Amino acid sequence: MQSGERIHSMDNLRALAMLAGVVFHAALAYSPLMHPIWPAADAGRSVVVDALAWFLHMFRMPLFFVVAGYFAALLVARRGMAGLFRNRCARVLLPLLLFLPLVVASMEWLTAHAAATVAHPSPALAWIRSYIDAHGALPSMPGWAHLWFLFYLLLFTVLVWVASALELRRIGAWIASLPPLALALATPVLLAPALAGTGVPWPAPEFFVPSLWALAFFGAYFALGYQAFQRGDLLDRLRPLSPLLLGGAIAAYAALFWLTDGFANARTASSSQHLLHALLEACAGFWMILWCLLAGRRWLDRRSAAMRWLADASYWTYLVHLPLLFAIQYRLLDLPLHWMAKFALSTAVTLALSFASYQLLVRHTPIGRLLNGKRAIPQSPRDVAKAA
């Protein structure tokens, strides 16, 4: 691999994982599981949404952390530990400090406005309305909102330095050197205790104080990505298991969904049942992530102008999508449309507004350089001919 060469499969997987977040968050408004607590929850809902959206939830963000770990190892190899810290301060810390206040303020204003104006509020929005009537202000809900992943990326950057100083990489290297089938079977067993420390399905760790289960769970996936870069043969050795990984992930999730009655009785499960649910979660997520990595190498590891544009736009899209989504879905609450039409409309309009604002306001501005770095200037045909 030459210095500066892009890893197309990982770039594209990262973009798809972030864009899948838009679909997942849009689906929550029509999820029976989230109906009591999601402010934009619609009266129309279906168990089909829960079956599909929570399957996406099992591997979407963990896959993002695998890719983040892979690129962290790449940065260390190219620029050293100091280069990794400089990059994370510029691409993660600064955007978090700039966008978190804007995201939180806009979502609070949208929710307060919806609480005052929506004729058919969700249960959560109706509760917020009564709270505002009693206290004159929104309830205080401090946290990282949907930008929590940036906070954890910063923590994992520090842990990379700690692991390097303490020579802990040998543990990850030993696990990565296991035979493929042993690796696929043993890793979910190691992940299950972390998931057993929280609810099923696992919640977003949005609070300012880091959660131990999230550090262990997402940290393991970050370490997996780190090892995938350092051991270039890791995915090659797993490739023969690809069909089994996909089938096993779907089977494990189907068993989890059936045993918990669509997650409806997950909170009342006994300790042994909860541990079994956590193990099934770990199996479904880990095996699906391995399959995504293998599929990415097979189908996404090529230069594509459209995918490159999506990869660049995905960071901005993820930062701004939730306020846009809430603004749209709050207005849809009073419209007599089928939930599928509202789901499709809110997802499509959110993506369209995010992409348009990226192209018009971000891509060629300092904000674009802040999020994605300096873009390479496309070579002219004459330059290519000279290089040849």
92 and 154 Cβ atoms separated by less than 8 Å? yes
End-to-end, the C-alpha distance of the chain in Å comes to: 19
Reported as half-sphere exposure (CB side, CA atoms, 13 A), residue 48 has a value of: 6
User: 338 vs 24, 111, 298, 322, 330, CA distance in Å?
Assistant: 18, 23, 38, 22, 15
pLDDT at 14: 95
291 and 249 Cβ atoms separated by less than 8 Å? yes
pLDDT at 377: 54
Question: Dihedral through CA 312, CA 313, CA 317, CA 318, nearest 10?
Answer: -20
- 3-class SS string, 68-108: HHHHHHHHHHHHHHHHHHHHHHHHHHHHHHHHHHHHHHHHH
- Alpha-carbon gap, residue 187 to 181, rounded angstroms: 10
- The candidate with the shortest Cα–Cα distance to 147, out of 214, 60, 84, 207, is 207
- Alpha-carbon gap, residue 18 to 365, rounded angstroms: 22
pLDDT at 168: 66
pLDDT at 384: 38
- Alpha-carbon gap, residue 180 to 294, rounded angstroms: 13
pTM over 0.95: no
- Alpha-carbon gap, residue 350 to 26, rounded angstroms: 9
- The candidate with the shortest Cα–Cα distance to 125, out of 39, 25, 36, 31, is 39
How crowded is residue 344: how many other Cβ atoms within 10 Å of its Cβ? 13
Tens-binned pLDDT, residue by residue, of the chain (388 aa): 545 567 899 999 999 999 999 999 999 999 999 999 999 999 999 999 999 999 999 999 999 999 999 999 999 999 999 999 999 999 999 999 999 999 999 999 999 999 999 999 999 999 999 999 999 999 887 899 999 999 999 999 999 888 877 666 677 777 778 899 999 999 999 999 999 999 999 999 999 999 999 999 999 999 999 999 988 888 999 999 999 999 999 999 999 999 999 999 998 999 999 999 999 999 999 999 999 999 999 999 988 899 999 999 999 999 999 999 999 999 999 999 999 999 999 999 999 999 999 999 999 999 999 998 876 655 444 443 443 3
pLDDT at 183: 92
